Amino acid sequence: MTFRLLVVGSVALDSVKTPFGEVKDALGGSATYFAVAASYFTDVSMVAVVGEDFPEEYIDFLKNRGIDLSGLTVEKGKTFRWAGCYGYDLNTRDTIETRLNVFENFQPVIPAQLKNCRYVFLANIDPDLQRNVLDQVIKPEFVACDTMNFWIQGKKSSLLETIARVDSIVLNDSECRELAGEPNLIRAARIVSEMGPRIVIIKKGEHGALMLDRNNCFIAPAFPCETVFDPTGAGDSFAGGFMGHLARTGDISPENLRRAIIYGTVMASFCVEEFSLRGIASLTERKIDERFKALKEASHFEFS
């Protein structure tokens, strides 16, 4: 039995340039990448906002992926737009432009039929809004959230209130260090765990991922991609694979959390191989499982 997964976050039109090409007004946003990745594992519903200019073809694409858009509202105005540029070091990027547009006044309203979702992901939005969502959902089994340096620096007290109420937080290594005020990544993750979330997941890009709970540490390598065009959305795709697997299995045991991390890593690896969502737009269960097994084989060793 699978369980419906709810994501609340942004839907955007992205313009991205890397040394390998560029796209303009491509489908993007944290909720979008998450939902598309998660849709390969379970039923997923999205709560977000777009403007009147949002292309109908993108609506059709999301519906064709089986994503429930009953929580997607269309407001008068223009859709959130973001533009960024990457150099050959794809781990860093420069933001060229951010136009929040209708997203600036986003107030998530969870439809009645989605308030009982067992699994909830709070994508990278204002921590006040993340708690607003938590006040609307009814006793979810597992809640995870994302954040970024902007909220850590500008609304840390609000963020601390939010993460005290979630089961897991997903953040990158620099965000973890900044939130904890600790340069050592392992100690920083322990400090963040003491803030509330029993599971801390650290995305390390091409260096893989790290998961810590209060007793264990799990280190997952990145999949060795030979082609990387665009890392935009990789972290949200990772989260979608992670949460999607948990919702599909209904199992949050330590062993299954580790499998979920690997599925998240796999989805992120597909994401970076193409611009926008092209890398995860038309996968198959077979392709996903083949890469899962390949990653397992690449990192397996025996000790005797």
- Residue 304 in any domain: the answer is no
Residue whose C-alpha is closest to residue 23's, from 291, 296, 285, 275: 275
Residues paired with residue 49 on neighbouring β-strands, in sequence order: 73
Task: Please list, in sequence order, all residues whose beta carbon lies within 8 angstroms of the beta carbon of residue 242, skipping any fewer than 6 positions away.
Answer: 144, 170, 201, 260, 261, 263, 264
Q: Quick check: is 102 in a domain?
A: yes
pLDDT digits (tens, 9 = 90+) for 92-103: 788 899 999 999
> What mean pLDDT is predicted for residues 264-272?
96
CATH at residue 166: 3.40.1190.20
Q: Is residue 212 part of a domain?
A: yes
Euclidean distance between CA atoms 217 and 52, whole angstroms: 46
Spatial CB neighbours of 243, under 8 Å, sequence gap ≥ 6: 5, 7, 34, 38, 119, 121, 142, 144, 260
Domains: count for the chain? 1
| 204-262 pLDDT tens trace | 888 899 999 878 899 999 998 888 899 999 999 999 999 999 999 999 999 999 999 99
With a cut of 70, say whether residue 271 has pLDDT above it: yes
Residue 71 lies in a domain: yes
- pLDDT for 2 equals 62
**Distance (Å, whole) CA 28 – CA 15:** 9
267 neighbors 239 (Cβ within 8 angstroms): no
For the chain, give the percent of residues with pLDDT over 90. Answer: 87
| E strand intervals along the chain | 5-8, 12-18, 21-28, 44-51, 68-75, 81-86, 93-99, 119-122, 142-146, 168-172, 199-203, 209-212, 217-220
pLDDT value at 1 more than 70: no
Q: Is the pLDDT of residue 135 over 60?
A: yes
**What Rg, from alpha-carbon coordinates, does the chain have?**
18
Domain of 94 in residue numbering reads as 5-299
- Please indicate, yes or no, if residue 46 is contained in any of the structural domains: yes
> What is the overall mean pLDDT for the chain?
94
Q: What are residue 203's DSSP bridge partners? A: 172, 209
Helices and strands (H and E) in the chain: how many: 10, 13
Residues 279-290 pLDDT 10s: 999 999 999 999
**Confidence category of residue 91, pLDDT binned at 50, 70, 90:** confident
Q: Are 221 and 295 in contact (CB under 8 A)?
A: yes
Q: What's the pTM value of the predicted model, to 2 decimals?
A: 0.95
- Range with lowest mean pLDDT among 70-74, 208-212, 299-303: 299-303
> Which has more pLDDT, 30 or 88?
30
Other CB atoms within 10 A of residue 66 CB: 12
